[in-house]
Structure 1
């Protein structure tokens, strides 16, 4: 089980603002709720690190996109190729 983290009230407000802005930028409105939850997890993972909202937004979106790219490459099946000599 993960240890719980403590967030300051101003950090929670900042993370809420970043979640709303990032969801709009990434057009998550039509996607499943799990995508917004993944984005929220990325924001929470770096939430106490940045006091600047713009830097928190940038870092969180970058983490989300990196995680999404990594998960899509893991889901791909290897393509079999026949080599003729």
Structure 2
């Protein structure tokens, strides 16, 4: 299964940290926003990238795009847990 999601208001560094807390390990790339990164465990892989996007006028936020791949059940559980962590970051 492959699932793509975008998260605003968090840095890629923080997204990598969350994925590591959920059992993954940084296996490729860098934590910095200007480079892709890949975090994986035995059941899933998450590929991350980040870019600045306009939200209102000249206001910009970082948007982290994550492509989750792996076993269906593992990906669904990972996305749910990651989304909860990412939503708490902004508020």
TM superposition score normalised by structure 2: 0.35
More strand by share: 2
Higher relative contact order (CA 8 A, sep 6+): 2
More helix by share: 1
Rg (Cα) greater in structure: 1
